[in-house]
Structure 1
């Protein structure tokens, strides 16, 4: 965004410099050119801001999908344990699953994962 702020600063400087021109026709001609360039740059700025917003939304969606995948793997691993699994392994898998589920932002999916963890905690005697 620094480049976009620089555009505004350059525009302000140019407008202030034009104010010092004595000839009204020259002043108007310069202002017309400055404004035309500024409008073109403003259009580019808007496009860039939209692209940036789209990229942020895409990154957030990818992060959420990754968090859900990680949570699913961790909970599935926990669900694969049996009562014969060592206490250390069970505790490690529970902690790992809870940690990964905490990174899921969709409340419904997070709740579903937590319910599955709870079921396994009971089944493995770790409630």
Structure 2
């Protein structure tokens, strides 16, 4: 069964997401196994790169939350990127995402390569969350 929502409902849901994320959000890329939910504590995963946003996370239009510019960040620990967590500035987890290469195209977040090299600067060209 497929459920669809009106534009008004999708937009309302995206605005709830935006409110939950808040200002100055943090997106951290990790190695290892992704926890079951964002409510599950991280255990044994290494943070590879941390993207820190400044100000409002983004804007909402027609059920799509589009992030503002995400400043590039340097890889602090070498490893294989496997998943990411978006958290509030206070550290409360909001979303977890799968990470893959652009070639595999299986991840919510896609990089040219998932092998992260310490000291290399990484950027995110665009970031959207689309409500259904």
TM-score bracket, normalised by the shorter chain, equals: under 0.3
> How high is the TM-score relative to the length of structure 1?
0.23
Q: Which structure shows the higher strand fraction?
A: 2
> How high is the TM-score relative to the length of structure 2?
0.23
Q: Which structure has more RCO (C-alpha within 8 Å, separation ≥ 6)?
A: 2
Q: Which structure shows the higher helix fraction?
A: 1
Larger radius of gyration: 1
